[in-house]
Amino acid sequence: PLKLAVVPYKVFNTSQRIWLYWKNYTDIDRTQSCTFINKYNITQDYMYYWWNTLLAGDKERTLFYGRFYSDVGPRLGWMIVSDPPGGESRQDYFLKMILKYKEKYCSVFFVTHLNADVQTGCEMYVRNNAIQECGSPPANCTDYYEKHCRNKTTVYNSTCETQVENLMKS
């Protein structure tokens, strides 16, 4: 049988930082900023990745496991997330990320926290080189986010790269 290409794999299969640029919800702890994903190990079926964020000016880093799923038709696929070494049962997964839009350097996910009674959120991720080359996300990606996600909380700012680099040196 023909195996479907898993589009979320294509989003995360890069050595670049993938910045969380916008989201349409606020955290309980509002001091979180400059959040990005770094792939650690990836296959067509799963990946291990580092979730990095600045929390009150300090770098926090957590390793997660994501399992990719594809779908037939217009849906682009999704990833469910757990702590490593990978979910042994459905109860181990705590996050579902449904890919809604993708272009070369930018993607938009609808995000559902599986163990919490909260509404589905929306997150826009942008690869590092898009920010370096253009200074902002691609226009089509921005348009999709603004049309489908309503609110906008900015997570990335122009000082994030410098802040992260300085913290990695110390």
Over its length of 170 residues, how does the chain's per-residue pLDDT go in tens digits? Answer: 344 556 888 999 999 999 999 999 877 666 679 999 999 999 999 999 999 999 888 889 999 999 998 876 667 888 999 888 765 666 688 899 999 999 989 999 999 988 777 778 999 999 999 988 888 899 999 999 999 998 899 999 999 998 888 887 76
3-class DSSP state for residue 21? strand
CA distance 128 to 68: 22
Pair of tokens at residue 35? 């959040």
CA distance 12 to 165: 21
Q: What is the DSSP letter of 116?
A: S
Q: Tell me the CATH number for domain 7-165.
A: 2.40.128.20
Helices and strands: H and E segment counts in the chain: 4, 9
